[in-house]
Chains A and B, each alone.
Chain A
Amino acid sequence: MRSKTFGSFAEAVADIPDGSVIGIGGFAAPGTPYNLIKALREQGAKGLTCVGNTTGGAHQPRMPDIASLVENGQVKKVIASFTAATRPTDVLPFTKYYESGEVEAELVPQGTLAERMRAAGAGIPAFYTPTAVGTELAEGRETRKFNGREMLLEYALPLDYAFVRAHRADASGNLVFRLTQRNFCPLMAMAAKVCIVEVEEDILPAGALDPDAVHTSGIFVQRLVKVPAAPEGIWAVRREERKK
């Protein structure tokens, strides 16, 4: 089998063209592909549509996030379940670019966001869900009653690229996530034409993973890069360590 392993993050993102739709995995720190985001910022592709749970946190010091690509002038549109902070008094780095109209955003309920990518990866073009019925998000959109209950039509969300972070991988691209690192990552891998993975442990030879333990089949994975030790590689750090 042809190796999916790349020697650097820069090489793994080098061919990403302007205008790409990129899913960025992670929920809080776990699963967030910090190194790939940083490499994309350095690569400089523009006019991107970025899909993620959030645009990134309000806290300092910052980690690489969607907002850091927005600040770098690379993003045309964001699709996320949060386009504002959960606490109204927190101001996100993303907010001023959104309010000024420099970047567009589509706000999507989190379960719908996940299912839209799962559907794209599963060859399903659209589905109905009870989520958001009767809200501002459903205004002017198609609904239909099933078993007497009103449901909202949602469309699949296919991606050009997915950036995810996994704990283990073998050379075939089979992935194992650890604890809450999984979140959106397997769904984005499925939804994307090209899934690029940053891997925490050394990439194993093909066949080294227990077939019953694999969370995402290598069928859905095209590129792997091992995360180097800090400070060359970016790793999640504890809050009190970040403050230092």
Chain B
Amino acid sequence: MSDNSARPIHASAPSGAPATGPVKGWDRQQMADRLAREFQDGWLVNLGVGIPTLCSNTDIGDREITYHSENGLIGYGPVLSAGQEDLHLVNAGGQNVSLKPDSVTVNHADSFAIIRSGRIDVTVMGAYEVGANGDFANWKVAGQKGGGIGGAMDLAACAKRVFIILEHVTRKGAPRLVPSCALPVTARGVVTLVATNYGLFAPTGQGFRVVELAPGMSFEEVRAATGAPLEG
């Protein structure tokens, strides 16, 4: 339920790089913007808590995108500023969002009927790790008792596409793009596109194919920071 989307976090520099210098990589909003460019006209899109919710800030031009929130909200607009909120209206992150003219609310069973029946065109989620085999892990960290699944397993198993947004490496510099996940997975073989602060990547089974490198990033730098083979 926690909301960290308002917290300013800048793209981390590649390990060993100086803290200042020319722009390298994407920040959180730019990662979200890059994935949102992949949304096609008419799609029903579910955005997970954290960086994925920033996709709803992206200018999508004249494409019609409907955002679905698993608490039964179909079609919502931007987060409202203090004093403007309706306390009966929240998105999946507990943020007070706005209604659009065609917004509707349904109960949780109907909301997950939409998900489980394959009507979500893409779900965008954060993760701790993504495997080259298309697995991903986002509900339990190492050594933790219990976890936070929320709607992630339903969405990952049933949406038409799963896109992931995450920082390319951990705070300690370890790769998050790996051959297969060490942490307990959320779903297997479902991820098709991954945005990181270093670029946009597609899991290929054996490694990750570079779709696009973020500004200032070289193939060699990204390869060194990736735990599975990087394909040009």
Interface residues of A (CB under 8 A from B): 27-30, 53-54, 57-59, 81-88, 90, 98-99, 105, 107-112, 114-115, 118, 129-137, 167, 177-187, 215, 236-240
Contact = CB atoms under 8 A, between A and B. Distances in A.
Interface stretch (B31-39, B139-147, B195-203, B209-217): B139-147
Nearest to B116: A111
A191 to B, nearest CB: 11
B129 interface: no
Given A114-B112, A240-B82, A178 B4 contact: no
A136 B105 CA distance: 32
Interface stretch (B66-74, B172-180, B219-227): B66-74
A114 to B, nearest CB: 4
B1 A86 contact: yes
A135 B89 CA distance: 32
Contacts of A99: 145
Contact of B85 (A82, A108, A177, A238): A238
A110 B4 contact: no
Nearest to B128: A88
23 contacts: A28-B94, A30-B88, A58-B2, A83-B148, A99-B145, A110-B70, A114-B108, A114-B111, A130-B158, A131-B116, A131-B157, A133-B157, A134-B185, A135-B186, A135-B187, A137-B153, A180-B73, A180-B105, A183-B107, A184-B108, A237-B87, A238-B83, A238-B85
Nearest to B86: A179
Nearest to B69: A180
Interface of B: 1-2, 4, 49-50, 69-73, 82-83, 85-90, 94, 99, 105-109, 111-112, 115-116, 140-141, 144-154, 157-158, 184-188
A90 B2 contact: yes
Chain A binding surface, main DSSP class:
loop
Pairs A-B, 3 closest by C-beta atoms: A83-B146, A111-B112, A111-B154
A49 to B, nearest CB: 16
Given A88-B144, A110-B151, A135-B186, 20 more contacts: A28-B94, A57-B94, A83-B148, A84-B145, A84-B146, A90-B2, A107-B146, A109-B151, A110-B154, A111-B70, A115-B112, A129-B154, A131-B116, A133-B157, A133-B187, A133-B188, A136-B140, A177-B105, A180-B69, A180-B88
Contacts of B145: 83-84, 98-99
B1 A57 contact: yes
Contacts of B69: 180
Contact of A180 (B4, B50, B72): B72
A60 to B, nearest CB: 13
Chain B binding surface, main DSSP class:
loop
A238 B83 CA distance: 8
A83 B148 CA distance: 6
B105 A84 contact: no
B163 to A, nearest CB: 18
A231 B72 CA distance: 30
Contacts of A137: 149, 153
Given A83-B148, A86-B1, A183 B87 contact: no
A108 B149 CA distance: 7
Given A29-B94, A238-B82, A183 B108 contact: yes
Given A82-B149, A129-B116, A183 B154 contact: no
Given A28-B94, A131-B157, A131-B158, A182 B185 contact: no
A111 B90 contact: no
A87 B4 contact: yes
Contacts of A178: 88
Contacts of B146: 83-84, 98, 105, 107
Contacts of A57: 1-2, 94
A180 B90 contact: yes
A244 B90 CA distance: 22
Contact of B154 (A29, A54, A88, A112): A112
Nearest to B112: A111
A130 B1 contact: no
B1 A28 contact: yes
A82 B87 contact: no
Given A28-B1, A105-B146, A135 B184 contact: yes
